[in-house]
Structure 1
Amino acid sequence: MNKAIFAVLPVLVLAGCAIRQQVQAVPADLRELCVIENPGVRPGFVSELRSSLQARGYRVRMLAPTAKLDECPVTATYAARWTWDLALYMSYAEIRVYRDLRQIGSAVYDSTRGSGNPGKFIDAETKIRELVQQLFPAPAGA
Structure 2
Amino acid sequence: MFKKAVVLSASLFLAACSAPKYTVNPIQENEQRKEITIVKDDATRAIFLDTMQEWCLDNAKRCTLVPDGSHPNPSELTLIYVSRWSWDLSTYISDSRINAYKDERKVGEVEFKAPDTINTDKWGDDRKRILMMLDLLFGKQTATEAHSKIESGEI
CA contact (8 A) 1:18 1:114 kept: no
- Note the alpha carbon deviations across 1:24-69, whole angstroms, 9 max, x for none: 1112242211000000011111010111122111110001112115
Structure 2 unmatched ranges of 5 or more: 141-155
Structure 1 unmatched ranges of 5 or more: none
- Note the alpha carbon deviations across 1:48-100, whole angstroms, 9 max, x for none: 01111221111100011121154552111000111110111111111110011
Root-mean-square deviation over aligned CA pairs: 2.1
**1:20 matched residue in structure 2:** 21
**2:134 matched residue in structure 1:** 132
**2:118 matched residue in structure 1:** 116
User: What is the rounded CA distance, in whole Å, between the counterparts of 1:136 and 1:14 in structure 2?
Assistant: 29
User: What is the rounded CA distance, in whole Å, between the counterparts of 2:129 and 2:74 in structure 1?
Assistant: 28
TM-score (norm 2): 0.76
User: What is the rounded CA distance, in whole Å, between the counterparts of 1:116 and 1:63 in structure 2?
Assistant: 38
TM-score (norm 1): 0.83
The letter for the 2-side match of 1:106 is: E
Gap change, CA 1:119 and 1:95, over 3 Å in 2: same
**1:40 matched residue in structure 2:** 43
- Whether 2:39 is the aligned partner of 1:31: answer no
Match of 2:84 among 74, 81, 86: 81
Gap change, CA 1:69 and 1:6, over 3 Å in 2: farther
Partner-residue secondary structure (3-state), 1:46:
helix
User: What is the rounded CA distance, in whole Å, between the counterparts of 2:75 and 2:64 in structure 1?
Assistant: 9
**2:6 matched residue in structure 1:** 6
State the shift of 1:21 in Å: 1.0
CA contact (8 A) 2:15 2:117 kept: no
- More helix by percentage: 2
Gap change, CA 1:90 and 1:118, over 3 Å in 2: same
The letter for the 2-side match of 1:133 is: D
Query: For this pair of structures, how many residues does the alignment match?
Result: 134
Gap change, CA 1:22 and 1:69, over 3 Å in 2: farther
